[in-house]
Amino acid sequence: MSHKRLFSLDNKVAIVVGGGSGIGEAVTVACARQGARTVCLDVDARAAEAAAARARAVGACEAGVLDVRDGAAVRNAFEEVRRRLGSLDVVVSTPGVNVRKPILDYTDEEFDRVVTLNLKGSFHVLRAAGRIMVAQRRGSIVLFSSIRAQVVEPGQSVYAATKAGIAQLVRTAAAEFGRHGVRVNAVAPGVVETPLTAPIKADAAWYSAYAAKNALGRWASPEEMVGPTIFLASDASSYVTGTLLVADGGWTAVDGRFWPPGM
């Protein structure tokens, strides 16, 4: 294959779950631009259609409604796409929610809400996509973890636990699906300007503190998560599986920002 074609998704069918906003919307547009017949699924029907309309300006895309908390709905949606379009080659899943609270203040309802969407929802996607891809003996699954799978701060307990859980689901699925030609990986973003992080952006001190924490000294845009995602979805990563691809501007690499005198 030509190196220029490594990142192509031509003749592939791609589902982007959570594709109606933020990183998911950027990935939806990118998959269509790279040649995939793309299906944008989101719990918000209007957001899904708006993202799909953007994607149709550069490629083939359709929209649908999906709540990843419903395992049967996920299975049925994926099977229906495979039946209509003939295969399922790429699945990217981005949905997530966070409740920032100290452990001692967390309620059972809040715990269940975060775990059900982030971890159980990701499991539903992984299982449904895996069943189809294992049977057809090819495919790439990309889930979204976070730097919080590796490093934490006060108020991030349950969110961090779910993101670490996603990393372990990915590693286990890679071990189980690999002999069938199916690759499973995760992207671990740092701070990205999305609806999920809007409360931080609204607080100037908090926003600036996060920007200063990483090596690049700034936040990422959703579009900056497209490159890592398309890499993992495409044949460019044909020998990559079970990986947590960290895209965090150097957040987890840098342990201190003091510049000694003379440097």
Indicate which residues carry an active-site annotation: 159
Q: Which amino acid would we find at residue 30?
A: A
Q: List the structure tokens of 213.
A: 């924490």
| E-only strand ranges, the chain | 13-17, 37-42, 61-65, 90-93, 139-144, 182-189, 244-247
The strand order across the sheet containing 90-93 reads 61-65, 37-42, 13-17, 90-93, 139-144, 182-189, 244-247
121-136 vs 71-85: helix axis angle to the nearest 10? Answer: 30
3-state secondary structure of 15: strand
What's the CA gap between 137 and 132, in Å, rounded? Answer: 8
Which residues touch 141 (CB under 8 Å, ≥6 apart)? 90, 91, 93, 125, 126, 129, 130, 133, 170, 173, 182, 183, 184, 185
